[in-house]
Amino acid sequence: MNATALNKGLIPPLMEDQIDSVQAVAEHWTPQRTLAWAFERFGNSVEISSAFGAEGMVLIDMASRIRKDFRLFTIDTEFLFPETYALMDRIEDKYGVQIEKVYSVLSPEEQERSHGAALWSRDPDLCCNLRKVEPLRRKLKDLSAWITSIRRDQTSARSLARRVEWDGKFRLVKINPILDWTSKQVWRYIHDHEVPYNALHDQDYPSIGCTHCTRAVQPGEDARAGRWPGLAKNECGLHMIEPAQS
C-alpha cells in the first residue's frame, strides 16, 4: 500500500465502524504481523508512541526489523529521569531513527506559575493531563493510527484492550502488538536480541515515568507500585477508556 497515497487521502482511513472486521482476525496475529499490517495499511500516518520501558524497547526493535524508516515519538514531560534521556540517545544511534519529542504547551516554569509548585503532589491527574494527555491529543490529530506497547496484565484499565481497536478517547485506530505478552516474554526477547533498555530497570524500577512520581518497588510489591506511590492512581490517562456519552 502506497503511504503517499494514504497521506494525500486517496486511501480512506480505517474508521470506527470498520474495526470489527479486523479485530477478530488480528487477535491471532503475532506482534510482527501486527506491525507489518500497520505499516502497510497506514503508511506514514501511523507512528509508534513510546516511553521507552522494556515493552517499548521490544516494539522498537521489532519495528526496526520490518521497516527501517518507522516513525517514533515520545511525550517528553520534561520531568524524565536522566537514564531515560540517555536511552533515547542510544535508540537513535542504534536504530538510525529520530525520536520526535512532544511537549506540553506549558514549560515547567509556566506550569508552576499557573498552577503552583509541585502540582504532581497536589493534583497528579491535572499534572498528567497537562504534560501527557493534552500533548498526546495534539499529536494524534495528525495521525490515522498509533502503535503502543501496552500489555493486558499491566492494569485493570488495559485488561480489555484489543490488538487492533478504535480509540474513542483520541478518535483514531489504536494498535497494541504485544498486549497478550507477559513480562517474562518481554525480557526474554530483550536478552535474546540484545535490545538496549533503561538502566533503572536494574535498580528495581519495573515501570518508569517522571522523576517526581516514580520510585523503586520493594520485594513483593506490584510492578506498578512505584508509580504515583501512596495514591489511588496507576494510569496517567493515555490509555484510559473514554466514558460513553449519553
- Residues noted as catalytic: 236
Residue 194 has a CB neighbour count (10 Å cut-off) of 8
**Dihedral of the CA atoms 75, 79, 80, 86 (nearest 10)?**
100
Q: Residue length, the chain? A: 246
Q: What backbone torsions phi and psi does residue 113 show, to the nearest 5 degrees? A: -65, -35
Query: 122 to each of 19, 127, 190, 231, how far by Cα in Å?
Result: 39, 9, 37, 11
Residues 6+ apart with CB under 8 A from 68: 96
Contact 50, 60 (CB under 8 A): yes
